[in-house]
């Protein structure tokens, strides 16, 4: 038999069971935190700006809290995006839970 391993996808859900936070959103917020730009973060992840904005807006709606504070730059650019403390906390909680889950899976037969 081939050498097989376990793999799972992890999401955080709200009290309605709606998916709110997963790996894709964690990566997007980490990139926004690094670049302070929604546009640059989406480009770095090969994601359209519109899709990135949709993902964040949907998660914020489902959470009832802001994940990113955005200021618009206008025609010349210069906007600024900052991950909120709530967003940073979710990244941390998600990464910690994912690491713990992966460690459990490594020890399964």
Q: Helix (H, G, I), strand (E, B), or coil: what is residue 82?
A: strand
Q: Does domain 14-106 have CATH number 3.40.50.300?
A: no
Euclidean distance between CA atoms 85 and 8, whole angstroms: 27
Q: What is the pTM of this model?
A: 0.89
Residue 76 has pLDDT above 70, yes or no: no
**What pLDDT shows up at residue 19?**
95
**Domain layout of the chain by residue ranges:** 14-106
E strand map for 1-109: 11-13, 19-22, 68-71, 80-83
Structure tokens at 46: 């090969």
Tens-place pLDDT, residues 18-67 = 999 999 999 999 999 999 999 999 999 999 999 999 999 999 999 999 99
Residue 74 has pLDDT above 70, yes or no: no
Q: Helix (H, G, I), strand (E, B), or coil: what is residue 10?
A: coil
């Amino acid at each position: 038999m081939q050498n097989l391993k376990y793999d799972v996808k992890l999401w955080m859900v709200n009290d309605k069971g709606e998916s709110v936070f997963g790996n894709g959103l964690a990566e997007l917020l980490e990139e926004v935190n690094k670049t302070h730009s929604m546009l640059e973060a989406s480009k770095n992840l090969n994601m359209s700006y519109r899709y990135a904005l949709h993902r964040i807006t949907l998660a914020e709606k489902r959470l009832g809290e802001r994940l990113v504070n955005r200021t618009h730059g206008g025609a010349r650019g210069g906007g600024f995006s900052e991950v909120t403390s709530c967003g940073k906390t979710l990244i941390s909680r998600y990464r910690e839970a994912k690491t713990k889950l992966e460690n459990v899976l490594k020890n399964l037969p």
